[in-house]
Structure 1
Amino acid sequence: MSNLTQDSRLWSLLFAAWLVALTATLGALFIGEVMGQAPCNLCWFQRVFMFPLAVILGIALIRNDGSVWAYALPLAGIGSAVALFHSLLFLKVIPEGITPCGQGPSCASADMSFAGLPLPILSLITFLAIAALLLAVRRKVTS
């Protein structure tokens, strides 16, 4: 396979990861700033890991830097863990010993979903998609 083809595939994977992170970041900002919905504590923690991904992956995309997986994958992994915990609370798999939605609207309300998916589950899917794309970047770079 030529270097040009490898570079375009790497760029495509980086672009997809950045697009997912950027969309999630803009969506969270829209919900908070435009709709005026204050995020719950667990949503804040997820934002802490998502917002930097949009910036880091954007820079890696411009630089066509496949080594980004080494420092972006931990952010996606920790964000996935928080989102999984939040989703399990939402689905009532874990008893609600803490109140994840103590301020603002409940993540369980109907207006806190997109395309029929509640925000905690959508966040989990988003983090997992970014992680999968970063693992694909890792395979391209190390192969």
Structure 2
Amino acid sequence: MSRARSVRSPRPLLGAATVVAAVATAGSLFLSLGLGLTPCRLCWYQRILMYPLVVVVGVAAIEERSGVARTVLPLSVFGLALAAYHSWLQVTQTTCSVGVVSCATVQYRLFGLLTIPNLSLLAFLLVTGIVAVASWRTRR
């Protein structure tokens, strides 16, 4: 493989996006199964959008498919918007009657700072950005 080809390979970036999605998935499972926290409805929707990204981006990394952005970006951008809305709810609302657990309730803070929706927002932002850069780099 030539040097020019290896520089433009999407594999390292897609691998990084896979790691982010896998850590987010494992983290959400630890919070619910390990710590016993009950996810609210918005958390469930974010999980529905994040979990498949582990497999989709992971396979794309193995097969060096930068075209996966067409599949990943709709999921990750929608997840990003949902996590941003959820984070906004926690800052501005005291209750939310969407489900059994209020979406406005802060159940956990990482380092006393980041709430669960903030962590989801960060993960979706990273996946979106990394996949967009991988797609852009291979098209140049």
TM-score (norm 2): 0.88
Distance of aligned partners of 1:12 and 1:67 in 2 relative to their CA distance in 1, 3 Å threshold? same
Could you say what secondary structure the match of 1:91 adopts? helix
Mapping 1:4-19, distance limit 5 Å: 4-7=6-9, 10-19=10-19
Matches within 5 A, 1:32-111: 32-92=32-92, 95=93, 98-99=96-97, 102-103=100-101, 107-109=105-107
8 A contact 2:8–2:138 mirrored in 1: no
Q: Which residue of 2 aligns with 1:3?
A: 5
**Native 8 Å contact 1:38 1:105 kept in 2:** no
Q: Is the 8 A contact 1:16 1:133 kept in 2?
A: yes
Gaps of 5+ in 2: none
CA distance in 2, matches of 1:102, 1:22: 27
Aligned 8 A contact 1:49 1:79 in 2: yes
- Distance of aligned partners of 1:17 and 1:108 in 2 relative to their CA distance in 1, 3 Å threshold: same
Identity of aligned residues (%): 31
Match of 2:126 in 1: 129
Q: Is the 8 A contact 2:14 2:61 kept in 1?
A: yes
Residue identity matched to 2:106: A
Per-residue deviation, 1:65: 1.1
TM-superposed CA distance for 1:100, in Å, is 5.1
Alignment partner of 1:114 is 2:110: yes
Deviation at 1:105, TM superposition (A): 9.4
Q: Distance in 2 between matches of 1:35 and 1:117?
A: 16
Task: Give the superposition deviation at 1:4.
Answer: 2.0
Per the TM alignment, residue 49 of structure 1 is displaced from its structure 2 partner at its CA by: 0.3
Task: Give the CA RMSD over aligned residues.
Answer: 2.1
Which piece of structure 1 moves more, 29-38 or 12-21? 29-38
Q: 1:128 is matched by which residue type in structure 2?
A: L
Mind listing any 5+ residue stretches in structure 1 that lack a counterpart?
none
Question: How many Å apart are 1:142 and its aligned residue?
Answer: 1.6
